[in-house]
């Protein structure tokens, strides 16, 4: 019997990386999946992979920065199986990394709009569905903006990720009375394609010394993890094993951020 049998999970940013790995992990533990992303072709590929492995999945196109898009996607998710148990607000972008004086207001707005507004909208529209029987909400935050601030030029990204943890903690207190748990995973160096959404400009002006990599880095696995490492933590937070865990950020970085 799977850890998520009979549960329905909604995952944003599910077309690749951590979102894809977590969706597959949830499906492997018996959850019915609603996977959401703006990348339709990749989303269909993930949905096909879930079904090929014997799982159930519904793919919905969703722009997490758009209120109507998020509202409609969650409504479709709840309508498909008449319930919703797990909501994983994972979608995000790297945005523009630049010195604060070089970072343009529209670049700031886009990063905050997708990462922080997207997390808020997913939370906001998920609550009415989860109130019916309780459940779990998980955010993908980051070590950046929470336990380390040494990434040159990452002001917008770090702010969005730090604010996600503050939002998570507020929601955890507010929603506990309904049996809804709210937590966050904070990955460190996890190779995904988020780098494709990241632009770097003039960061050498504010650069800081880097930690050694590979065998010289004293953190677990040299400080570099895999998407499945985050997916396993999300599985714990989605399952009944975390029934008394809420308002917590869990760092998934092999301890590397402790060295900064």
Residue 48 is encoded by which pair of tokens? 């096909």
Reported as a single tens digit per residue, the pLDDT across 59-107 is 999 999 999 999 999 999 999 999 999 999 999 999 999 999 999 999 9
CA atoms within a 13 Å half-sphere pointing along the CA-CB vector of 97:
23
**Count of all residues that appear for the chain in the document:** 260
At residue 4's C-alpha, the angle toward residues 223 and 33, to 5°, is 85
Residue from 88, 157, 178, 251 carrying the catalytic annotation: 157
Mean pLDDT of 213-224: 65
Looking at residue 213, its pLDDT comes to 58
Confidence band of 255 (pLDDT split at 50, 70, 90): confident
Least confident of 119-123, 169-173, 253-257: 253-257
Looking at residue 139, its pLDDT comes to 98
Q: Is 178 a catalytic residue?
A: no
Cβ-Cβ contacts under 8 Å for 14 (sequence gap 6 or more): 20, 22, 23, 33, 35, 36, 37, 43, 46, 90
Most confident of 78-82, 95-99, 177-181, 254-258: 177-181
Exposure class string for 77-101: b at 16+ Cβ within 10 A, else e: bbebeebbbbbbbbbbbbbbbbbee
Q: Whole-angstrom Cα distance, residue 175 to residue 119? A: 16
């Amino acid at each position: 019997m799977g850890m998520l049998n009979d549960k329905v999970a909604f995952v944003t940013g599910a077309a690749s990386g951590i979102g894809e790995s977590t969706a597959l992990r949830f499906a492997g533990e018996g959850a019915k999946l609603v996977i959401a992303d703006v990348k339709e072709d990749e989303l269909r590929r993930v949905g096909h992979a879930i079904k090929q492995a014997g799982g159930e999945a519904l793919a919905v196109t969703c722009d997490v920065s758009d209120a109507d898009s998020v509202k409609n996607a969650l409504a479709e998710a709840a309508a498909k199986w008449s319930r919703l148990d797990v909501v994983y607000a994972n979608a995000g972008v790297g945005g523009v990394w630049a010195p604060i004086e070089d970072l343009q207001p529209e670049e700031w707005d886009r990063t905050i709009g997708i990462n922080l507004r997207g997390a808020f909208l997913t939370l906001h529209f998920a609550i009415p569905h989860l109130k019916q029987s309780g459940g779990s909400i998980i955010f993908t935050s980051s070590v950046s903006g929470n336990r380390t601030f040494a990434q040159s030029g990452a002001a917008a990204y770090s702010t969005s990720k730090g604010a996600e943890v503050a939002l998570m903690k507020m929601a955890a207190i507010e929603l506990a009375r309904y049996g809804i748990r709210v937590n966050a995973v904070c990955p460190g160096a996890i190779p995904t394609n988020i780098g494709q959404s990241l632009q770097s400009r003039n960061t050498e002006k504010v650069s800081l010394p880097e930690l050694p990599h590979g065998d010289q880095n004293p953190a677990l696995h040299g400080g570099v993890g895999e998407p499945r490492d985050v997916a396993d933590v999300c599985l714990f937070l989605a399952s009944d094993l975390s029934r008394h865990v809420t308002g917590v950020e869990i760092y998934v970085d092999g301890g590397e951020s402790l060295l900064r």
